[in-house]
Structure 1
Amino acid sequence: MKSLLIAALFAAPAAAQTPVMQPDITGAKFAFPAAVRDHERREIMIPMRDGVKLYTVIVVPAGAKRAPILLTRTPYNAGKATSRTASGKIEAILPVADTEFVRDGYIRVYQDVRGKYKSEGDYVVNRPLRGPLNATAVDHATDAYDTIDWLVKNVPESNGRVGITGSSYPGFTSLMALIDPHPALKAAVPQSPMVDGWMGDDWFHNGAFRQTMVDWIAGQTATRADDTLIPTGIDDSYARFLPYSAGDYVRRYGLDALPFMRKLMEHPAYDAYWQGQAVDKLLAGRQMTVPTMLVTGQWDQEDSYGAPAVWNALQAKAGDKLHLVIGPWRHSQVNYDATNLGPLKYPEDTALAFRTRTMKPFLDKYLKDEPPAADIPRVLTYQTGANQWQRSTQWPPVDATPTPIYLGPKFTLTFDKPAAGADAYVSDPAKPVPFVPRPGNADDGQVWRPWLVSDQRNVSTRTDVLTYVTEPLTKAVHIAGAPLVELHAATSGTDSDWVVKLIDVYPDENIEQVEMSGYQLGVGMEIFRGRYRNSFEKPSAIPANKVQRYKFALPNANHRFLPGHRIMVQIQSSWFPLYDRNPQKFVPNIFHAKPADYIAATQRVSRGGSAATAIILPVVPD
């Protein structure tokens, strides 16, 4: 009987087995059983009005019904953003900042902008609005409109309400969606948006070129994917850039073959090319209809200018539709852990606190069918120094009083205007002041992300840096707003850069955090290219050895200088290699400066009297 059973087993029909030579890759896309996922991830090519299709990933929580949609339009790979880990859990495949939303049933959508990664079409960096600079029928405003229109008509799980968010470039695309917005767009949270690339965001600051961005340009525009590295072989950014002018560096590596690089070099001044792209100006000419929360970081090392510029352009007419948030963050840190920034430690994860207590209630209010009650401040800022959130109805606060602090004799800093005097230093382009201690690789995130809070003691004793400091404060000084620089200075050259830093100096013995003893913390730091002192559009040579007036703003800050701390101001004429070196001899276009154009110059900064250099602090009552 046993032998018959064995024979029967071996006689089973061959058809029940998979043929040995059946191909093991069938060509069809493999799908895991729905039971192992708590979501559905859909990849769609959404058609735009000109026929171009944009790659879009829609992540829908299981069982979603009448769910709001949160959209991000990005040049940084929508596919990667929605496949962070190999997991069946929705919060695991998406960025950490999405967790609070998808846990609450939000549908999350990421889209590659046209011309990047899997989207069709041509990529133009910060594609201008249709009009004088863009003769086509499409831009980021129309692409956002067409995308939202498709989503509300083709995602049956949605309630027909869409919000848009994103940081940096996706912050820019979020703002562009507000121009002629789709009726289903109910709320926007642009974070660290790129608004004006010449005045103070990624490419220039007050006319000084941010040459470390050349690496970004190569990565973003050499191919559809961000996969191109410049083969310098040198980790120290200072050493990498020092032998060349910015233009010669570009030409050495053939980067002038990249159209966007050529555009930057062809438009060094604030001409129609830049003015026509400034998003704050574009929005100022339109009626604001979509509730918007602008978000930035006090130490945003890339786009500190944009969000406050949009706020200033719109806040008077937008009313309670417009909100502003300034957190104690680096660029885009709002979407990551923010229990600290470099050596600065906070009592909580400030980014998580903002997302859960403010950003999500704001979006819930406008996107949910039956939102819970929410008390959303018009302005929310984090007071650094005191480490606490502050709510207000406007920015700067109504009680902020412009209060000058002056350069004094013997390198003092005083609230009382001193007698006339001057201090001098020699600025040598061959030995520029480093923006971080050497060696430092600006491409290294550990260097780049926290550099604005790096200790300024590394340059405070250089002979080409003027350093002024108060006595230890006997009472706190609280500032809220953008400090203004009123600089009176002369140069022996015919062009010059001026860098001014407002610094909080910690006590030499700092009991609360010993490693911060004597620390020189930048509160607000900015550069101004002297050729633009009279006109941003038409640069002009500086009269040699004649005092000129330079007026510009430092980044917005809400900061308390505590008792026992000191206030410091540093002034210098280079910030390298973050900004290209000024030859200090006027040439029509610094991108084409020759080695012989780079000359040492004696810089003389006036203090006191009728040409008193001062920082105008927005001081609020303690």
Structure 2
Amino acid sequence: MSKATLRSALLALACIYSATLLAAPPSDIRHGNVTPDMIQTGSDIPGHWKQPEGNFDYVKREVMIPMRDGVKLHTVILMPKHAKNLPIILNRTPYQADGCAPNNSPHMVDAVWSGLKDFANGTFILVCQDIRGKYGSQGKYVMTRPPRGPLNPTKTDDTTDAWDTIDWLVKNLKQSNGKVGMMGSSYDGWTVVMALLHPHPALKVAVPESPMIDGWMGDDWYHYGALRQINLDYFTDQMTARGSGKSVPRENYDDYTNFLDAGSAGAYADAHGFKQLPWWNRFAAHPAYDAFWQLQALDKQVAKHPSSVPTMWLQGMWDQEDIYGAVHAWEALKKAGHGANNHLVIGPWWHSQINRDGWHMGPLKWPGNTTAQFRRNVMIPWFNHYLRDTPLKHSLPEAMIYNPVEKRWDRFREWKVASNQKLTPLYLQNRFGLGFDKPAGGSDSYVSDPAKPVPYLPRPIPAHDTDRWRTWLVHDQRFVETRPDVLSYVTPVLTKTVTIQGAPIADLYAKTTGTDGDFVVKLIDVYPGTYPSDPKMGGYELPVSMDIFRGRYRKSFSHPSPIPANEVQQYKFRLPTVNYEFKPGHRIMVQIQSTLFPLYDRNPQTYVPNILFAKPSDYRKATVTIEHGESGHSAVLLPVVESANTGR
């Protein structure tokens, strides 16, 4: 027999053997050491898995807490083992309560997310809850559900849900001391403020961090009527699914191209299915500051319904998302006579950076981890004071605001609200000068072309570029200084320090050939041409405070009106609050432009009833003239103080 014939015969025998083996029932298997216990006919996933947690230093519970209307809210409780007489820290969120402890670790400090690590030290019970209609909670989700009243005819809101949650916690967590503190950032900050409108007696202390307070005036949705259109992704992220939705799909890598090609913000939204979203339809129907916005502005609400709960209003000096809310809520309470239990804190941070590391802000480096230091040295002792009655080494002043130039915290026994500031005009001058002396006369013009808007960052501007988004407010402004549609005014080199503490006010006198238009004003610190201690900062144009104003609202935020073409009008608006020193050797610059794209939607510069739905033919070039003479002395009004008044 040949080798080939032998191989064929053996192969045939092997096939017959295998077929016989496979056909045999398990009881007949006797070959190859296969026994019945090796065969699984069901699923390898057990019906219930319980992780051994004998070495865990905490207990994690998930409960459904009932609200007064029967809706149950998914709540995650993290409790140190052997907990006894511990206070509770509550966070209510639309961003998934399970995210408070994303890591499967036997150690509580390693299990929680960065914002809770300093509180996961075995001395607090940590509670996170999904708000109505999100993730594991029952009920219907409503974006920043308004307080009960004209906009919310139901019997529940985030105020009642916080009350009911706290009531359940203090009655059912026998390991607690019956005292609760609340904290949370951004939307979570909104839920803290809502809880303060009618707080449960067990709520003893609160820290709203960068809270959403007034979405039209200066937080997430608009700034003085100009739409922050890149936040449209938030609509689909938040409202297309009970859990996390998807962002708007992009045709191009560069969002500058995406939004420019789309035309109006409304056209962009319509093309991506936004008419399916009830919130968008309500939102789009109210472009002006009417009752829809005013009745859910929480700075107005807290002034009407002040609480006695000690509250720390906290935000970042360069908060790129909610730079308006905390300051204005604190000011509203102080003006209403409730400053004693309300404190303002502004750190050198981007939005919600308080919950992460704080070694630097873009190119600005600090002499330590400012956020961790603040949490450990200020926040936790402050919580402990009101939740455990422990004494404070240093009482919290009325305001505690970081000085980013001297790189230190300044403490103020009194911090003036913007309406009580003493202001010093810094005037625009001839030949693009800037100074404290009133100018003799003159004006400067530029052509604002909606087809070529000024970018807010150097292109390309990809969607979801987190690092650039977080720090765009400190980006070097030299990238636009030479554009013909950007006017840059600058002082001579300073010979002494100019210290400002408060909110600068833009005060422009301008005319335009259009019937509408936007005005962007930037207050900038120009570094010396060479800067030996940090060479890359040589000549850096650091934005200190900036904002945008939609011209149709120059007389009334609730009743817009066309701009009379070629007539000088006054545009006066507040810039974000700062504590800053312009040092000798530096210069102060003011930049003025009409677009900040694609962050804000383009003004067509032709008056239309609703800019969200402007037609392509409405977008027209306009010549904008800034006056600094007899027709109006344009200036930025600065809250200048003597250098010695640092408030330390």
Class of the TM-score when normalised by the shorter of the 2 chains: over 0.9
1:481-560 to 2 correspondence within 5 Å? 481-560=502-581
Matched, 1:620 2:641: yes
Helix, strand or coil for the counterpart of 1:127?
coil
In structure 2, which of residues 290, 293, 297 is the aligned counterpart of residue 271 of structure 1? 290
1-structure distance, mates of 2:276, 2:454 = 30
Q: CA 1:442 to 1:413, structure 2 compared with 1: closer, same or farther past 3 Å?
A: farther
Q: What amino acid is aligned across from residue 72 of structure 2 in structure 1?
A: K
Alpha-carbon distance, 1:27 to partner: 1.5
1-structure distance, mates of 2:412, 2:501 = 11
Q: CA 1:226 to 1:530, structure 2 compared with 1: closer, same or farther past 3 Å?
A: same
* 1:355 equivalent in structure 2: 375
Alpha-carbon contact 1:407-1:608 (below 8 Å) kept: no
* 1:376 equivalent in structure 2: 396
Helix, strand or coil for the counterpart of 1:540?
coil
* 1:314 equivalent in structure 2: 333
* 1:46 equivalent in structure 2: 65
Alpha-carbon contact 1:289-1:321 (below 8 Å) kept: yes
1-structure distance, mates of 2:275, 2:495 = 55
1-structure distance, mates of 2:210, 2:190 = 8
Alpha-carbon distance, 1:369 to partner: 4.8
2-structure distance, mates of 1:442, 1:498 = 25
Alpha-carbon distance, 1:26 to partner: 3.0
Alpha-carbon contact 1:441-1:447 (below 8 Å) kept: no
* 1:437 equivalent in structure 2: 458
Matched, 1:424 2:445: yes
In structure 2, which of residues 147, 154, 159 is the aligned counterpart of residue 141 of structure 1? 159
Alpha-carbon contact 2:516-2:563 (below 8 Å) kept: yes
In structure 1, which of residues 107, 115, 127 is the aligned counterpart of residue 133 of structure 2? 115
2-structure distance, mates of 1:421, 1:37 = 73
Alpha-carbon contact 1:293-1:325 (below 8 Å) kept: yes
* 2:413 equivalent in structure 1: 393
Alpha-carbon contact 2:112-2:120 (below 8 Å) kept: no
Alpha-carbon distance, 1:285 to partner: 0.7
Alpha-carbon distance, 1:256 to partner: 2.2
1:454-493 to 2 correspondence within 5 Å? 454-493=475-514
1-structure distance, mates of 2:546, 2:438 = 22
Q: What amino acid is aligned across from residue 317 of structure 2 in structure 1?
A: Q
Alpha-carbon contact 2:306-2:333 (below 8 Å) kept: no
Matched, 1:325 2:361: no
1-structure distance, mates of 2:306, 2:531 = 51
Q: Write out per-residue CA displacement over residues 338-358 of structure 1, whole angstroms, 9 at most, x where no aligned residue.
A: 110111101111111111111
Q: CA 1:157 to 1:433, structure 2 compared with 1: closer, same or farther past 3 Å?
A: same
Quick check: 272-281 or 440-449, which moved more?
A: 440-449
1-structure distance, mates of 2:39, 2:254 = 59
Q: What amino acid is aligned across from residue 423 of structure 1 in structure 2?
A: D
Alpha-carbon distance, 1:610 to partner: 5.4
* 1:99 equivalent in structure 2: 117
Quick check: 103-112 or 192-201, which moved more?
A: 103-112
Alpha-carbon contact 1:487-1:551 (below 8 Å) kept: yes
Alpha-carbon distance, 1:400 to partner: 6.1
1:229-240 to 2 correspondence within 5 Å? 229-240=247-258
Q: What amino acid is aligned across from residue 331 of structure 1 in structure 2?
A: H
* 2:359 equivalent in structure 1: 339
2-structure distance, mates of 1:224, 1:20 = 37
* 2:617 equivalent in structure 1: 596
2-structure distance, mates of 1:357, 1:439 = 41
Q: Write out per-residue CA displacement over residues 258-293 of structure 1, whole angstroms, 9 at most, x where no aligned residue.
A: 111122211100000000000011111123211100
Unaligned runs of 5+ in 1: 1-16
Q: Write out per-residue CA displacement over residues 103-139 of structure 1, whole angstroms, 9 at most, x where no aligned residue.
A: 1511111111101111111111110000000010000
Report which of the two structures shows the higher radius of gyration computed on alpha carbons.
Answer: 2
Matched, 1:252 2:271: yes
Alpha-carbon contact 2:446-2:484 (below 8 Å) kept: yes
Helix, strand or coil for the counterpart of 1:419?
coil
Q: Write out per-residue CA displacement over residues 405-448 of structure 1, whole angstroms, 9 at most, x where no aligned residue.
A: 00000001011011121100000000000000000124210121
Matched, 1:191 2:236: no
Matched, 1:293 2:312: yes
Matched, 1:67 2:78: no
2-structure distance, mates of 1:20, 1:211 = 56
Q: CA 1:400 to 1:593, structure 2 compared with 1: closer, same or farther past 3 Å?
A: closer
Q: What amino acid is aligned across from residue 37 of structure 1 in structure 2?
A: F
Alpha-carbon distance, 1:231 to partner: 1.7
Q: Write out per-residue CA displacement over residues 576-622 of structure 1, whole angstroms, 9 at most, x where no aligned residue.
A: 00000000000001112110000000000001345100101011111
Alpha-carbon distance, 1:20 to partner: 6.0
Q: Write out per-residue CA displacement over residues 487-511 of structure 1, whole angstroms, 9 at most, x where no aligned residue.
A: 1000000000000000001111011
2-structure distance, mates of 1:231, 1:400 = 46
Helix, strand or coil for the counterpart of 1:353?
helix
Taking only the aligned residue pairs, the percentage that are identical comes to 52
Alpha-carbon distance, 1:387 to partner: 1.1
* 1:57 equivalent in structure 2: 76
1-structure distance, mates of 2:237, 2:373 = 33
2-structure distance, mates of 1:20, 1:489 = 81
In structure 2, which of residues 287, 291, 299 is the aligned counterpart of residue 280 of structure 1? 299
Matched, 1:33 2:31: no
Q: CA 1:235 to 1:20, structure 2 compared with 1: closer, same or farther past 3 Å?
A: closer
1-structure distance, mates of 2:641, 2:503 = 12
Alpha-carbon contact 1:362-1:374 (below 8 Å) kept: no
Alpha-carbon contact 1:400-1:480 (below 8 Å) kept: no
2-structure distance, mates of 1:477, 1:327 = 20
2-structure distance, mates of 1:342, 1:138 = 42
Alpha-carbon distance, 1:320 to partner: 2.4
Q: CA 1:50 to 1:494, structure 2 compared with 1: closer, same or farther past 3 Å?
A: same
Alpha-carbon contact 1:294-1:325 (below 8 Å) kept: yes
Helix, strand or coil for the counterpart of 2:585?
coil
Alpha-carbon contact 1:397-1:480 (below 8 Å) kept: no
Helix, strand or coil for the counterpart of 1:320?
coil
Alpha-carbon contact 2:239-2:245 (below 8 Å) kept: no
* 1:11 equivalent in structure 2: none
Q: What amino acid is aligned across from residue 69 of structure 2 in structure 1?
A: D
Matched, 1:447 2:465: no
Alpha-carbon distance, 1:228 to partner: 1.0
2-structure distance, mates of 1:256, 1:453 = 36
Q: What amino acid is aligned across from residue 571 of structure 1 in structure 2?
A: I
Helix, strand or coil for the counterpart of 1:108?
strand
Alpha-carbon distance, 1:254 to partner: 1.3
2-structure distance, mates of 1:603, 1:87 = 60
* 1:7 equivalent in structure 2: none
Helix, strand or coil for the counterpart of 1:331?
coil
Q: CA 1:441 to 1:162, structure 2 compared with 1: closer, same or farther past 3 Å?
A: same
1-structure distance, mates of 2:238, 2:59 = 30
Helix, strand or coil for the counterpart of 1:172?
helix
Helix, strand or coil for the counterpart of 1:103?
coil
Q: When the two structures are aligned, how many residues end up with a matched partner?
A: 604
Q: What amino acid is aligned across from residue 223 of structure 1 in structure 2?
A: A
Alpha-carbon contact 1:159-1:369 (below 8 Å) kept: no
Alpha-carbon contact 1:506-1:518 (below 8 Å) kept: yes
Q: Write out per-residue CA displacement over residues 438-473 of structure 1, whole angstroms, 9 at most, x where no aligned residue.
A: 001242101211110111011011000000001111
Alpha-carbon contact 1:301-1:330 (below 8 Å) kept: yes
2-structure distance, mates of 1:242, 1:378 = 45
Q: Write out per-residue CA displacement over residues 275-324 of structure 1, whole angstroms, 9 at most, x where no aligned residue.
A: 00000111111232111000010000000000011011102422321111
Alpha-carbon contact 2:223-2:548 (below 8 Å) kept: yes
Helix, strand or coil for the counterpart of 1:318?
coil
